[in-house]
Amino acid sequence: MAKKDRMSGNEAVAYAIKQINPDVMPAFPITPSTEIPQMVSTYIANGEIDTEFIPVESEHSSMSAAIGSEAAGARSLTATSSAGLAFMWEELLLAASNRLPVALALVNRTLSGPININCDHSDSMAARDVGWIQIYAETNQEAYDNFIQAYPIAEDVRVHLPIMICQDGFITSHAVMNIELIEDEDVKEFVGEYKPEEFLLNPGKPIAVGPYSVSNYAMEARKNQALAMENSKEVILEVAKKFKDRFGRGVGLFEEYRTEDADYIMLIMGSAAGTAKEAVDNLRDKGIKAGVLKLRVFRPFPAEEIAEALKNCKAVAIMDRTESYNAHGGPLASEVLAGLYRSKVNIETVSYTYGLAGRDFTVDSVYEIFDELQAVVNDGFKPVQHRYIGLRTCE
């Protein structure tokens, strides 16, 4: 029997961690993810779980400790945001190259500067090429569901890669919403026991982790790591299907909302997808064929699947909640465009930047974008690419 409750996104992820009862959690507090280790350490102090909590002196240390304990054979995780993720940088790459299925509860917050604590995706997007699987949530429910799927994906023998479960700082992490919780025993059965074949604390079966590799070996190791990321796509889909069959909800690589006959689609990630859906419902009432493609999985990037999902629309708005400073648009736009080109899908595309450092993104913002898409298709309007939504300007 599922239990109905109301929780913030941080509470939901902490609750999922409690139900999983992982072995080791090293963590260092940083807004807005602080509540996750705080709540987990409360569960530990109350004797509800027996996770080993390591209070470390920095995020460099929390990820190092998670790598060490995971290599030792313990299911490990940590939580962080923004500058905390940046301080883990070197270790993020090592967790991936050592093929350790560490989980990270990431609460998206902008990277400085100017210094700011609010939501955008600049932290995880800057870490898009460190070899971690990245899954994003629209709601508290999705953050919870995604976390329960994290270990079955990361620990699969075809994958063995670390996984980042992302939710939007404050918007999702602190807002309280209704949530449907899964029974403890069902979570435990779904996630299973961690039984690595080889691990450090295994008497009589010694191993060496992270050996120096000369040029004759390192390129082959990188290829194997890249193949694991490719393989993870089918595992993510299998786990999502298993989750849906069992608990009745969830999507695979992305959610297609009213896109089946849509002429205009907004491609977006995270909490703002909810805003886009509300606007699309209202536009549909007015007879405008609008839809939303909400990307759940950014790494591995489902380029062909996105191209297939977009091929019948006339125009797509690609929404980046980060600035790449490359004078060429955000990372989502760049990757989607490359995917469309390779799949020979020739539709109109407009790239937008929105919601940086907690800037509001409203239903009216979505209307403005769909108006522009219609002008592009119907009037031959030439839009400014990667325009900032809601920017104050003298023009």
Binding site for another protein (CB under 8 A): 97-100, 160, 197-198, 205-211, 213, 216-217, 220-221, 223-225, 228
Closer CB to another protein, 46 or 216, in the complex: 216
Q: Which is nearer to another protein, 112 or 224 (CB)?
A: 224
Structure token digits, residue 245 = 């069959």
Task: Give 206 or 380: the residue with its C-beta nearer to another protein.
Answer: 206
Beta carbon of residue 161, minimum distance to another protein (angstroms, whole number): 10
Give the residue among 119, 103, 143 at the shortest CA–CA distance from 9: 143
What does the block give as tokens for 342? 């390779």
Q: What is the largest CA-CA distance in the chain?
A: 73
Give the residue among 261, 393, 368 at the shortest CA–CA distance from 314: 261
- Closer CB to another protein, 228 or 373, in the complex: 228
Residue 207 beta carbon to another protein: minimum distance, rounded to whole angstroms: 5
Give the three-class secondary structure for 169. coil
Omega of the bond prior to 274 within 30 degrees of 0, cis?
Answer: no
Q: Containing H/E element for 24?
A: strand 24-27
Residue with tokens 């939501």: 119
Q: Nearer Cβ to another protein, position 178 or 213?
A: 213
Cβ atoms of residues 92 and 127 within 8 Å: yes
Comparing C-alpha atoms, which of 77, 83, 88, 69 is closest to residue 25?
A: 77
Q: Which lies closer to another protein via its Cβ, residue 230 or residue 308? A: 230
Q: Which is nearer to another protein, 212 or 325 (CB)?
A: 212
Smallest gap from residue 240 Cβ to another protein (A): 24
Minimum gap (Å) between residue 26 Cβ and another protein: 20
The least distance separating another protein from the CB of residue 195, rounded to whole angstroms, comes to 14
Look at residue 291 and give its three-state secondary structure: strand
CB of 384 to another protein, least distance (A): 45
66 by Cβ neighbours in 10 Å (0-12 / 13-18 / 19+) ranks as buried
CB of 245 to another protein, least distance (A): 30
Q: Are 173 and 9 in contact (CB under 8 A)?
A: yes
Residues 6 or more apart whose Cβ sits within 8 Å of residue 188: 19, 20, 21
- Whole-angstrom distance, CA of residue 153 vs CA of residue 160: 8
Considering the complex, what minimum distance in angstroms separates the CB of residue 118 from another protein? Answer: 37
Q: Would you say 63 or 307 has its CB closer to another protein? A: 63
Rounded Cα distance, 254 and 305, in Å: 9
Kindly state the tokens that stand for 309.
């999902």
- 196 vs 383 by CB, closer to another protein: 196
Contact 280, 258 (CB under 8 A): yes
Q: Token pair for residue 373?
A: 């898409």
User: What's the closest the beta carbon of residue 72 comes to another protein, in angstroms?
Assistant: 13
* Residue with the two structure tokens 């690589």: 253
